[in-house]
Structure 1
Amino acid sequence: MAVAAGTPSRRRRRRRRWLLACAVALAPVLAVGALWPTTPGVGNAEVLIRSRLETHDAPLLGALPTSDRVARALVATEDSRFYVTPGVDPISAARAGFAMLTGSVDTGAATLEQQLAKNLYFPQDGGLLDKVDEAEVALKLDVGYSKHEILRMYLASVYFGHGYYGLPAAARGYFGTTPAALTWAQASLLAGLVQAPSAYDPVVHLDAARLRQRHVLNRLVATGVLTRAEATGAFAAPLGLR
C-alpha cells in the first residue's frame, strides 16, 4: 500500500534528508575549527602580494582610490554580502552542501576573502581539501584585516588578463589611466574580468567582455549603487581601450 503524503514515515524521511543536508553544510565549518592550527597564518599577506607583483613587474596599489568604482563593482558582482560575512558566506556554504547532497549544481560562490586566500596561498587547484583550507585562511584574513584592507589587497594582486596583475597595471594597460580616474564604463569592464580573465580579455574577446560588463552594471543596479539610467549611460559610454 502506498504511503500517503504527510504520514509519519514520510515526515521522518524528510526530516532525515534535512538533517543530513545540515550536516553536510556544517562539515566545512567544523573542519575549519579543527584544522585552524594547520593552515598558514596571514601576517605575510602583504609580503606575498609584493612578491607576486615584482614577479610580473607590476606596480603596487598603496590605497584604494577615493572613487573606488572598481571595488564597488567587484563587491556587487562577486560578493554582494562581503560586508556582513566573516570571510565565508554561511548561506552559500549551506547552498553548496545541499547541492552536494542532492547531486544538483553547486551554486555556492567564493567570497572575496576566499578568492584572495586562493590567489595568495593556494594558487594550484588541489580539490576539496584545498577548498577547506581556503575557507579557513579566508576566516583568518577577515580576522586579521579590515574589509577595506582586504579589498585593497584583492585589487592589488588579482589578475585582470592580458598580462596585467593588480588594478594599477590593468588601468594603465587597458585604458592608459590611473585607478582613481576610471569611469564607470571602464570600472565595470575591469570588475567583470576577474571571474575569467582570459575568456573576457577585452583586447582579444571584446564581445564577451562587453556581455560581462553588462552583467556587472546590472548587479550595480540590483545592489543600489547605480540607477538604471546611470548603468545604461555607462554601458553606452566609450571605453577608450588602448
Structure 2
Amino acid sequence: MAGAELVSRRVVPGWLRRCLRAGLIMTLSAAVLCALCGGALLALTPNVSDAEQRVRALDAERGISALAVPTPPKVAEALVATEDSRFWRNPGIDPVGVARAVVVWLEGRGGDGGGATLEQQLAKMLYTNGGRTRTDQVEQVALSLKLAHDYPKSEILQMYLAIAYFGHGFYGLEAAARGYFGTTPNRLTWPQAALLAGLVQAPSLYDPLHDPHLARARRAEVLGRLVAVGDLTSAQARAYADGPLDVSP
C-alpha cells in the first residue's frame, strides 16, 4: 500500500496536487457562498402566493378577465418553443440561460442574454414592475424559483398569457386574438398562434399592422422553432409561413 502511494506521488507532481487541492477548496467555498446568498435572497424576496390575485388585479384595471381563458395548446406550444424551450422541465430558471446572462453581465452589455424563463418574465411583470436592472434581474431569479415551486406549469402559462402585452393596447391572449384576428383563443390557427407568440418579445417592433414584413419574418422564426422542437414538420411550417398575416386593420 505504501508502495502504491509512493508511485502515485511520483506520477502526480506535488505542484499539481497542491493546485488540485486549492481548486477543490475554492469550488466548495464558492458553492457554500452561493447557497448562503441564494438562501438569503429567497428569504428577502416577496412571497408569491398572491400571484393570481396580482394577475386578477391587473386584469381588473384593464377591464378584462383573461385569467378565466384556458390556454390553447397551439399558443402554449408556440410560446414555449420561442420563449423558453425547456419550460416544462426547468425549475423556474434555465441553467443555460443563467450562464449566458452571467457572460452578458461580465461583458458589460445590457439585457439578460435572452435567457429569461417564462417564470422570470412573469416575475418581472408581477413583482418588479418590469425592471431591467441587475438588481431586478437577480430578484426575478429568486421569484421565478418560488413561482415554479408554488404553481403548476399550466397555471404559470395561464397567468403569463393573461397579462402579456401584444401591442395596440391588447393585454392578454383573449384581447389579442379578438383584436388581431376577430376570433377566440381556442380557434386560433397555427400561423395565428405563431404570430401572437412572436409578438410578446417586442410588440412594437413586430407590429403586423405597421410593419407586416418584420411581422412575417418573426412569424416564420416562431414556426421554425416549432419545427425544431418537433411540434410541426418543415413542410407545414413552410406552408404556414407563405400564407397571409390575415390580421384585422
Q: Normalising to structure 2: TM-score of the pair?
A: 0.82
Tell me which structure has the larger Cα radius of gyration. 2
How far apart are the structure 2 equivalents of 1:208 and 1:21?
46
1:38 to 41, 44, 63: 44
CA contact (8 A) 2:96 2:115 kept: no
Residue by residue over 1:94-123, the C-alpha shift from the partner in whole angstroms, topping out at 9 and shown as x without a partner, is 232244446688635100000000011112
2:143 to 128, 133, 137: 137
Residue 89 (structure 2) aligns with: 84
CA contact (8 A) 2:165 2:171 kept: yes
- The alpha carbon displacement at 1:28 in A equals 7.1
* Unmatched segments (≥5 aa) in structure 2: 1-13
* Unmatched segments (≥5 aa) in structure 1: 1-7
How has the CA–CA distance of structure 1 residues 120 and 204 changed in structure 2, closer, same or farther, with 3 Å as cutoff?
same
Residue 74 (structure 2) aligns with: 69
- The alpha carbon displacement at 1:25 in A equals 10
Q: Which amino acid aligns with 1:78?
A: E
- The alpha carbon displacement at 1:32 in A equals 3.1
1:199-210 alignment runs, 5 A limit: 199-210=205-216
- The alpha carbon displacement at 1:43 in A equals 1.2
Q: Which amino acid aligns with 1:54?
A: A
How far apart are the structure 1 equivalents of 2:220 and 2:135?
35
How has the CA–CA distance of structure 1 residues 214 and 103 changed in structure 2, closer, same or farther, with 3 Å as cutoff?
same
How far apart are the structure 1 equivalents of 2:150 and 2:27?
31
How has the CA–CA distance of structure 1 residues 99 and 127 changed in structure 2, closer, same or farther, with 3 Å as cutoff?
closer
CA contact (8 A) 2:74 2:193 kept: yes
Residue 186 (structure 1) aligns with: 192
- The alpha carbon displacement at 1:72 in A equals 0.5
How far apart are the structure 1 equivalents of 2:170 and 2:27?
41
Residue 198 (structure 1) aligns with: 204
How far apart are the structure 2 equivalents of 1:175 and 1:115?
25
How has the CA–CA distance of structure 1 residues 137 and 26 changed in structure 2, closer, same or farther, with 3 Å as cutoff?
farther
Identity %: 50
1:53-132 alignment runs, 5 A limit: 53-65=59-71, 67-101=72-106, 107-125=113-131, 127-132=133-138
How far apart are the structure 2 equivalents of 1:205 and 1:28?
45
1:221 aligns with 2:221: no
Residue 167 (structure 1) aligns with: 173
CA contact (8 A) 1:122 1:130 kept: yes
CA contact (8 A) 1:25 1:98 kept: no
Residue by residue over 1:119-177, the C-alpha shift from the partner in whole angstroms, topping out at 9 and shown as x without a partner, is 11112425111111111110110000001111111111111111000000000011110
- The alpha carbon displacement at 1:181 in A equals 0.1
Q: Normalising to structure 1: TM-score of the pair?
A: 0.84
How far apart are the structure 2 equivalents of 1:221 and 1:60?
29
Residue 3 (structure 1) aligns with: none
- The alpha carbon displacement at 1:27 in A equals 7.6
Bigger relative contact order, structure 1 or 2 (CA pairs below 8 A, ≥6 apart):
1
- Give the number of equivalent residue pairs: 235
